[in-house]
Amino acid sequence: MKLNKDNYFSLEANRHYMSVSQFKGFLPSYEGCEARSMAELSGEYERPNKGAFDEGHYIHAWNEGTLADYKADHPEIYSSQGPTKGQLKSNYKHLNKMIDVLMNDPLVMKVLAGQKEVIITAELFGIKWKIMIDSYQPSVGLFADLKALKDIDGKWWSNDAKAYENFIDHYGYALQMAVYAEIEKRKTGREEWLLPHIVIVTKQDPPDHESIYFDYDAIEAGLQIVRNNIERVKAVKSGAAEPVRCERCDYCRATKKLKHIKHYGELAVY
Ligand SMILES: [Zn+2]
């Protein structure tokens, strides 16, 4: 299957290729759930809260230089009634503010320069993967991923580790950057990894922003997480192993049937 921007996020592409978000979707340590992942891949289930995804698309369209097209294709981002009729809805106005913050920082614009939304596929750990790099600068030795986050300094609760984590660990960004670096290296036949960067802009008012890079140790550590879990993920995705329900996610909640009545002491504190 040949990937392009139109079919990259399709069900067919997800069945054919592994991606970092699909991989994390199988792992409880990233709030993944095998049962939900399999229901999504079969087309039986779609996750709620599409809004956050659309806002990410808006910022990525800016980075790609296609924001004018995006606005033309999405009339729903404009207010349709009242005194603000015809203006961007307030959450999109705020996205413009976030974009301004990035545009006004020369170092950020240097990191985000290069080819945009570059799709690369390669085999890793015996299966085909797909990645899409937001900003790709092989001649400078780096690539970058653009993230819009609630805040940078916050702490995120990990149900799996029963501890607070920073956003890098919580969202598995080092793992994502490691896979991107390795897939790009394999595809190009380059001997060294490109240095992965992420550019973060927060949804705060005023927005905060940061640029972070990952070194080779981080790439090694990220690939080790994939190595440790990939055989199970492959077995479940191929149908060789039964998917386990996490009983915590949106899908498990939506399809829950009680098997027994809990003793009150069984309830988790967390
Ligand atoms: Zn679940």
- Rounded distance from Cα 198 to ligand 1 centre (Å): 29
- The per-residue pLDDT for 156 is 87
Mean pLDDT (whole number) for 252-262:
93
Q: What is the pLDDT of residue 154?
A: 83
Q: Which domain holds residue 22?
A: 11-48+105-266
Q: What is the pLDDT of residues 50-76, one digit of tens each?
A: 656 677 889 999 999 999 999 999 988
pLDDT value, residue 65 = 96
Number of domains in the chain: 1
Res 52: pLDDT: 62
pTM, 2 dp: 0.93
Q: How far is the CA of 28 from the centre of ligand 1 (A)?
A: 9
Q: How many whole angstroms from 141 Cα to the centroid of ligand 1?
A: 39
Q: How far apart are CA 212 and CA 215, in angstroms?
A: 10
In terms of Cα–Cα distance, which of 179, 165, 56 is closest to 120?
179
In a domain, 163, yes or no: yes
Distance 252 CA to ligand 1 centre (A): 4
Position 84 in a domain:
no
Residue 61 located in a structural domain: no
- Which residues have CB atoms below 5 A from the ion given as ligand 1? 33, 36, 246, 249, 252
Per residue in 235-263, is it b (16+ CB within 10 Å) or e — as a string?
ebbeeeeebeebeebebeeeeeeeeeeee
At 80 the pLDDT is 87
Render pLDDT for 196-228 as a digit per residue (tens, 0 to 9).
999 999 999 999 999 999 999 999 999 999 999
177 within some domain: yes
Q: How many CA atoms lie within 13 A of 105 on its CB side?
A: 18
Whether 67 is in a domain gets the answer no
Tell me the C-alpha distance between 148 and 63, whole Å.
12
- Is residue 54 situated within a structural domain? no
Residue that the structure tokens 């592994």 belong to: 18
Structure tokens given for 51: 């809004």
- CB distance 189 to 212 below 8 Å: no
In a domain, 235, yes or no: yes
Does residue 53 lie within any of the structural domains? Answer: no
CATH number of the domain bearing residue 248: 3.90.320.10
